[in-house]
Amino acid sequence: VIQDLFGLCMCMLFLETIKLNAIKVGATLLMVAFFYDIFFVFITPLLTKHGESIMVNVATSGGPPKADPSWCEKYPFSADCKGGDPLPMLFAIPRIGDYQGGCSMLGLGDIVLPGLLLSFASRYDESKRVMGLISGGSGRVANNACLDSAGNSRNKSSSPFCFLCCCCKNGYFGPVMVAYAIGLMMANMAVYIMQMGQPALLYLVPCCLGTMVYMGHKAGELNDLWEGPRVIRAADVLLYGEPPVENAEDGQEQEEEERRSLEGSMQNEEEAEMT
């Protein structure tokens, strides 16, 4: 329990300190971690002498118990029934209702890396809300990912992913959070089906990153999200003050950029109120 509390504090501190300003950074980190997890869970058993996964062995400090579960049920203090202790860099969640006991493990990286994308989505939604309030709007954030060609909201769509963007009509954070929960559920189902450790990012990255990219593409905001939303920079300037500039030309460019961000926010707010 204490280890899990320390892990929770580390995740909160990391997400409070590190913030993304564009999804291209988060996409790069997630894709690198995606292939890293796959390699060390599925490929290393093919390269090691005894066919052991390096990731599982490192995470459990030697792997699970070597003896048969029925033997360990009779002789729990046998040397072969004592598995390794989990590292302090993961959550150890006890399995409730499992007669064999044990725990499920979730690495902190499986939380903080998708968490960077979730925090970015939250900042983007709140920045649009703040700029909408300042421009005289209601401050509501509209989700334009399920609009038809005329710009009107659609109640039904032929797209199989529309439930993610229409079930939470207040921006990106809600749908990406739903996608994270779905990816985590898929990872747990894979563990029980395959009876072996699974790289959680194998399921979390396509769900979270794919959902945000899809919604950004449908809303016409993908390029802005990829390069760094102007509305986030404008909101940061309003909340924390203008950053220092080297010369007057840079200052004029920054003011022009903020002005365009304000105009874009006002336009989005008007479209949201019309729909």
The residues carrying an active-site annotation are 37, 110
CB 127 within 8 A of CB 235: yes
User: How many CA atoms lie within 13 Å of 257's alpha carbon, on the beta-carbon side?
Assistant: 18
Closest alpha carbon to 158 in 148, 169, 168, 144:
148
Residue 144 · residue 171 · CB < 8 Å: no
Render the burial of 16-29: b for 16+ CB within 10 Å, e for the rest: eeeebeebebbbeb
